[in-house]
Structure 1
Amino acid sequence: MSSLQQDELIKMWESEQENLKQQVQECDTEEWQRASGFTGLQRVGGVDLSFIKGDDVKACAQLVVLSYPQLELLYADSQMVTLSAPYIAGFLAFRETPHLLDALRRLERDRPSLMPQVVFVDGNGLFHYREFGLACHLGVLADLPCVGVAKNLLHVQGVVRSAEHLSQISTLQKAGDTFPLMAASGRVLGKALRSSDKSTKPVYVSVGHRISLDTAARLTSACSRYRVPEPIRPTCSPGSTCAHTSHLRAPEGRCSCSVTKEGPAKPALMSAGRPPPVLPLAASQSAASQSAASQSAASQSAASQSAASQSAASQSAASQSAAALRYHSQRELSAGEPHVGPGMQL
């Protein structure tokens, strides 16, 4: 893309962001948001995209829905997608939103009773260069309450990781403690939140749509067993490098689509302490070797049949190895191992 084309695209996207921004509601619109203990809230969702390392067009779009307050898995959707929009800083939503919106629409079509009442987005909402991040974009288009939760501080509108900011972090003594993220204009764009007693590092919460900042921060803390709220917490099974949210796990501990931080998931089951299944390839090759040795001994005692025996042995060994390889491939395919490219990361 030429610089002229990029400039034109940025202008178009800025105009679209500005139009959509007018629809953002920074207030509580649902009864459960105003109720003590969020009474009436039953389903919380989470969305994220995991990108492939070294490939800027392939990603895995993910959606989970958990029960509240139990935070148990009700629904999971994980799809490999191709991103068509280019990456331009400040316009990430134009790359990701279409695929996350598709996941929500699939759920609404197939399992409408499981539609989330609020969606956590791994990214920012109003805490954004133009006060319209991914959580706002998705929230407005999906017309759902959305909360943006970022793990890293975006340096925007005068908010930076300064000595003063680090000093404020030290004042967060317990889960639920917050301090405002105030822009140079004096407008509060979000909150730094200590979401769990198990971590002193804050997350950065901002309004996406149809929820107030105070409610968004309280809900984030209520959905957090650890630092990152459960619907978007990036961990799979103990010791694995899976980049998915914690609830995107297929049966037997196998990662849903093998997107990992360090590379494709290996055929071995990810569950701790469970060895990988023994495939018959090595045994078949060993049997072929034994067969060849036996035939070689026979040829020494029957020189007149040596050439024919060795030829038959070679054909037999090749046939057995080919059969073993076919069996090996079928086992991998039946286990649900997708054919993925290079290493993948968030």
Structure 2
Amino acid sequence: MNEKQEEDETEELQRWRREQLELKSKVVQSDTERWQQEPGLAGLERVAGADISFSKKNEGQACVSLVVLEFPTLQVSLVSKMLDQVVYESCEMVFMTASYVPGYLAFREVKPIATALTALCKSRPQLAPQVIFVDGNGVLHPRGFGLACHLGVLVDLPCIGVAKDLLCVDGLEKDDHHRAKVKMLKTAGDSFPLVGISGKTLGTALLGCSGCSNPVYISVGHRISLDTATRLALACFRYRVPEPIRQADIRSREFLRLRKQGGVSVDQRSKLGANNSTADQPHGKD
């Protein structure tokens, strides 16, 4: 990289940082919807999950997947082990023009996810989600404004960040103390707060199922409290990752697989994720 490229990159990161700090002031870390205040989340009908999977041959090419599940049906299916009720799904190939830079994931991924959400709300407004799960962090972030915050503010919807690995910020470390607390998580729903040296609670380490060895890290994105975000995430687990994100991940990976084999038909797209061989494993995109 020459001096001009380094200078341009530095200017871009400075611009991104300014945008994050400006938008951060719009983040709402409290419940704004009536269903969020109900003991059984009554009134919540549709939950969405968003995920992006990248092509192994071309790092710039990726599949953006958005799914919407009926929340009451999802709860029934988690108990009965029936196939989840996905009422909407979209998978689209996009070309990522921005490189991945730690702390600035949103500038690579937020635009295609927001575009997919906008397309859904315009074409099928009756299926518009009331809350979105995102494969990434929210306020658990070096500047308190991760992908889930960025997306939530842009689309003005409740948003929850779900990360499969701990982002070490504000004194949080994957040290012996943290590992000891993780080992104490045995049963689905076991959790502990992620409190930084600032004294702020940035998220929750939450075990999704009793057979999981590692928790996921829940953080507020926008227009939801941490308690409600944790409560809703717990209501959406079948395996390690909340089902909306898991279903989006399955479909994005399957879309890339079918595309590699020579294309994706409309019929194939309608069946994405129905018979994925890894669907019954507690896994996530690490």
> What TM-score results when the alignment is normalised by the length of structure 1?
0.70
Correspondence for 2:153? 140
Letter in 1 for 2:36: Q
* Runs (5+) with no aligned partner, structure 1: 235-243, 250-254, 268-331, 339-344
Q: CA deviation at 1:266?
A: 4.3
1:112-142 per-residue CA deviation (whole Å, 9 max, x = no partner) reads 0101100000010011111100000000000
Correspondence for 2:62? 59
Higher radius of gyration, 1 or 2? 1
Letter in 2 for 1:37: G
Which residue, out of 173, 187, 196, partners 2:200?
Answer: 187
Q: Relative to structure 1, is the Cα distance of residues 161 and 132 closer, same or farther in structure 2, using a 3 angstrom cutoff?
A: same
SS at match of 2:256: coil
Which residue, out of 34, 37, 42, partners 2:37?
Answer: 34
For 2:245 and 2:8, the matched residues in 1 are separated by 35
Q: CA deviation at 1:256?
A: 5.4
For 1:74 and 1:84, the matched residues in 2 are separated by 31
SS at match of 1:69: helix
Correspondence for 1:245? 249
Letter in 2 for 1:59: A
Asked whether the 8 Å contact 2:52–2:249 carries over to 1, the reply is no
Summarize the alignment of residues 242-281 of structure 1 with structure 2, pairs less than 5 Å apart. 245-246=249-250, 248=251, 257-259=255-257, 266=261
* Runs (5+) with no aligned partner, structure 2: 75-84, 270-284
For 1:103 and 1:156, the matched residues in 2 are separated by 30
Which residue, out of 183, 188, 211, partners 1:170?
Answer: 183
More deviation, 57-66/174-183: 174-183
Asked whether the 8 Å contact 2:165–2:216 carries over to 1, the reply is yes
More deviation, 104-113/195-204: 195-204
Letter in 1 for 2:66: L
Q: What percent identity do the matched residue pairs reach?
A: 48
Q: CA deviation at 1:333?
A: 7.8
Between the two structures, name the one with larger relative contact order (CA 8 Å, sep ≥ 6). 2
> What TM-score results when the alignment is normalised by the length of structure 2?
0.84
Correspondence for 1:91? 104
Correspondence for 1:288? none
Which residue, out of 4, 14, 17, partners 1:14?
Answer: 17
Q: Relative to structure 1, is the Cα distance of residues 11 and 183 closer, same or farther in structure 2, using a 3 angstrom cutoff?
A: same
Task: Indicate whether 1:45 and 2:68 are aligned.
Answer: no
SS at match of 1:48: strand
Q: CA deviation at 1:335?
A: 8.3
Correspondence for 2:282? none
Q: Relative to structure 1, is the Cα distance of residues 333 and 160 closer, same or farther in structure 2, using a 3 angstrom cutoff?
A: closer
Q: CA deviation at 1:198?
A: 2.9
Asked whether the 8 Å contact 1:50–1:259 carries over to 2, the reply is no
1:261-309 per-residue CA deviation (whole Å, 9 max, x = no partner) reads xxx6547xxxxxxxxxxxxxxxxxxxxxxxxxxxxxxxxxxxxxxxxxx
Summarize the alignment of residues 283-322 of structure 1 with structure 2, pairs less than 5 Å apart. none
